[in-house]
Amino acid sequence: MAILTPITPHFLPSGTLLEGDIITRGHINRTYVSVVQQDGATKRYVHQLINTHVFRDPVRMMDNIRRVIEHLAVKRSGDPGLLHLLPNDDGEVYFLDEDGNYWRTYNYVEGSTVFDIVPSADVAYEAAVAFGKFLHDLSDLDAQRFHITIPDFHHTPRRIERFKQALAQPVEGRTETCQQEIDFVLRNEDLGGTLIQVLETHPETIRVTHNDTKVNNVLFCEKSMKGMTVIDLDTVMPGSVLFDVGDLIRTACNSAAEDEQDLSKVQFDFDKYAAIVRGFAETIGDTLHPAEWDAMASCGAVITLECGIRFLTDYLDGDKYFRIHREGQNLDRARTQFHLVQQMIDRMDEMKAAVDSVRF
């Protein structure tokens, strides 16, 4: 809680900080939840310390987020799931402390819950509907007005180039521990070009997308188990809906944790896959280009491959990007991802049939 003591007064000047806890879920920023008493009421807030190694231009990133939040506030006026950014004492939606740290504060969405592992196809469907509605609500925004906060974020071939650079200069002793995973990437390089090719051939499909649609970025209503809101807007920027569909498939169709060490538990769940495709088709299906429909069956495999490559690259680099809680965790993460990719490749025909059954 001590870390929050100098921060909360900038966002909640007349509040008294009663409690503070860390949330260890994210791999990038530091996230805390506080309980603050203000004007006779007790409320919870979410405070985040932005990782400026990853987000080099936090001011521009916050500008993107503010734009999305303001747009949703108009579209979903009165919705209890709405996210708000608290202004600090200068009216900015972030606070820069004396050590050069950027902080921001959101309301805490009460009555919500998250899933790291999805328990049923119904939950997978609701997550897809939540992200689909989010994309639908942002579809009238001009993507060109958004800053590109992390260049080439979902440019899989460039991620592969970066991986090869790491492979040429690995932390000593690490290549030997992951030869199978290295071979997997080199064998599946071609798959990596699928989504970026759609964007390059059809630039008109570029729109404002979320870009980090892991399933635990949906807050579910505890009572109804419907999606309440989408969080983690850090990477909202111009992109392809295929990135968002793909990252939800990557996370929601995995029967185990992202860093599970026992690969026999890491199973790709086809029923959840079909439910996700249906959820997106119902919410944004009418806005998709034929080329996006054509590539839809592969997007889960591509984004899962890309994420695995990023974990493996970071492992070879010495764990500089994704936070780890134990030695070898990034390698374990890469292994689960590649294990899922192989299962998706093996079931590609069934995935195509599932897409065709809901295609517009």
Q: Which residues contact ligand GN1 (rule: CB under 6 A)?
A: 26-28, 54, 212, 214, 232, 234-235, 258, 307
**CA-to-CA distance for 289 and 199, rounded, in angstroms?**
11
| Distance in Å, CB of 13 to ligand GN1, minimum | 29
Residue 68 exposure: Cα atoms within 13 Å on the Cβ side: 31
In angstroms, give the least distance from the CB of 218 to Mg ion.
Answer: 13
* Residue 54 vs 96, nearer CB to ligand GN1: 54
Distance spanning both ends of the chain, measured CA to CA: 51
Closer CB to Mg ion, residue 82 or residue 150? 150
Which residue from 126, 137, 212, 269 is in contact with Mg ion, where contact means CB under 5 A? 212
**Residue ranges of the alpha helices (H) in 13-120?**
58-75
Under 8 Å between Cβ of 206 and 238:
yes
Task: Find the shortest distance in angstroms from Cβ 318 to ligand GN1.
Answer: 17
Alpha helices in 156-269 (DSSP H): 156-168, 179-187, 194-201, 241-252
Distance CA 337, CA 329 (A): 12
What, of Mg ion, ligand GN1, none, does residue 296 touch, CB below 5 to 8 Å by kind? none
Q: Calculate the CA 111 to chain-centre distance.
A: 22
Q: Which of the listed partners (ligand GN1, Mg ion, none) does 214 bind, with a CB threshold of 5 to 8 Å by partner kind?
A: ligand GN1
For Mg ion, which stretch binds (CB under 5 A), given 42-50, 80-88, 225-233, 300-308? 225-233
- Which residue is associated with the tokens 């919705």? 79
Residue 235: CB minimum distance to ligand GN1, A: 5
User: In this structure, are residues 128 and 230 in contact, taking their beta carbons and an 8 Å threshold?
Assistant: no
Phi, psi of 138 (to 5 degrees): -95, 0
CA distance 87 to 260: 39
Residue number with the smallest Cβ distance to ligand GN1: 27
In this structure, the number of other CB atoms found within 10 A of the CB of residue 343 comes to: 18
Q: Which is nearer to ligand GN1, 12 or 163 (CB)?
A: 163
Nearer to Mg ion, 93 or 277 (CB): 93
Q: How many helices (H) and strands (E) does the chain have?
A: 11, 10
- Whether residue 136 contacts residue 142, with contact meaning beta carbons closer than 8 Å, is answered with no
Angle between helices 329-346 and 290-317 (to 10 degrees): 150
What residue 132 binds from Mg ion, ligand GN1, none (CB within 5 to 8 A, per partner kind)? none
Least Å distance, CB 192 to ligand GN1, is 15
CB of 360 to ligand GN1, least distance (A): 28
From the list ligand GN1, Mg ion, none, partner contacted by residue 266 (C-beta under 5 to 8 A by kind): none
| Partner in contact with 181, chosen from Mg ion, ligand GN1, none, beta carbon below 5 to 8 Å by kind | none
Site size for Mg ion (CB under 5 A): 3
27 binds, among ligand GN1, Mg ion, none (CB under 5 to 8 A by kind): ligand GN1
Residue 244 in the binding site for Mg ion (CB under 5 A): no
Q: Which residues bind Mg ion (CB under 5 A)?
A: 212, 232, 234
